[in-house]
Copies of this chain bind each other. A is one copy, B any other.
Amino acid sequence: STNFLVLKMAKSSFEYVKKFEHDDSLLPNTWIVIRLDGKCFHKFADDHNFTKPNDLRALKLMNYAAYTVLKEYSDILLSFGQSDEYSFVLRKDSCLYKRRSAKLLTTINSKFSSSYVFYWNKFFEHLPLKYPPCFDGRIVLYPCDENLIDYMKWRQADVHINNLYNTTFWTLILKGQLTPVQAEKRLSGTVSADKNEILFQEFNMNYNNEPEIFKRGTILLRKSLLHNKVNKSIIVDVHDDMLKDKFWKENIYILSVKK
């Protein structure tokens, strides 16, 4: 039988191992961005027959998982998702978990991951989830608003460019009957104008009419709403153009919100 007195003494003799943990608190007064990325999501999309080039159910599930995270953490001011990635922006002055890097990163990543599975059926209905998906995460600091805004613009410029490519690529395959190898060859060396032209001339598609969610990804924002004479904060999803100054002029309040 266990000798508990010995055990307690033993336990305290092992506790020195706690000292090997290092303090990873992040620099104060700095924007904290956490970006999650689907791991092997090409395969995951194939395994679950995602519509190409964009699966609206999958995008909405991503948005909903992110929404779940925002509801939980009021220190997240802004969030942006596209494809299988999502970025979360924490307020500059956030003291959440004393700004400990690993703690922030893992709780947000974990909540997002488990929400993705939990809400799968809400968007995919009877299509079963075949295995648990995985998202990696990273944390990046931006000292000033300009750097943060450029980060957001960078991620949105990325969707724009990838989506035009993917839309043309998959149209060549799905409507043009090309193989993936042929489609890739056809697009090699083309500029954006060429891709627009292919879509328009050969498939009668105007890329500009594609849904905003595909072309621009999704921004989750907190808005104040006057409801029955009471101010209420709600989370809205928009597909605005963050590359335009107009967006930041209208929404700069997001970054300057005081606690």
Q: Which residues of B contact A207 (CB under 8 A)?
A: 1
Q: Quick one: CB contact mask for A158-191 with B, threshold 8 Å, 1 for yes? A: 1011001000000000000000000000000001
A134 at the interface (CB under 8 A from B): yes
Q: Which residues of B contact A147 (CB under 8 A)?
A: 17, 20, 29
CA gap between A103 and B245 in the complex, in Å: 34
- Shortest Cβ gap from A70 to chain B (Å): 14
- Shortest Cβ gap from A129 to chain B (Å): 7
Interface-forming stretch among A54-62, A109-117, A217-225, A251-259?
A: A109-117
User: Helix, strand, loop or mixed for chain A's interface?
Assistant: helix
A51 at the interface (CB under 8 A from B): no
Tier of interface size on chain A: 35 or more
Select A20's contact among B68, B106, B141, beta carbons within 8 Å. Answer: B141
Q: Which residues of B contact A132 (CB under 8 A)?
A: 68, 111, 114-115, 117-119
- Shortest Cβ gap from A60 to chain B (Å): 16
**Are B161 and A7 in touch, CB under 8 angstroms?**
yes
Contact A161 B20, CB 8 Å, known A5-B191, A103-B136? no
Residue ID in chain B nearest A109 by CB atoms: B106
A232 at the interface (CB under 8 A from B): no
Contact A16 B150, CB 8 Å, known A114-B117, A118-B132? yes
- Shortest Cβ gap from A95 to chain B (Å): 11
Within 8 A of B (CB), among A84-143: 101-103, 105-107, 109-119, 129, 131-143
Residue ID in chain B nearest A154 by CB atoms: B14
- In addition to A4-B191, A20-B29, A105-B105, 17 A-B residue pairs with Cβ atoms within 8 Å of each other are A4-B192, A5-B192, A14-B154, A15-B154, A17-B147, A17-B150, A20-B28, A20-B147, A29-B144, A30-B143, A72-B134, A103-B136, A105-B106, A106-B136, A111-B132, A117-B118, A118-B132
The chain A residues found within 8 Å of chain B, CB to CB, are 1-2, 4-5, 7-8, 10-11, 13-23, 25, 27-30, 36, 39, 68, 72, 101-103, 105-107, 109-119, 129, 131-144, 147, 150-151, 153-154, 157-158, 160-161, 164, 191-193, 196, 207-208, 215, 243
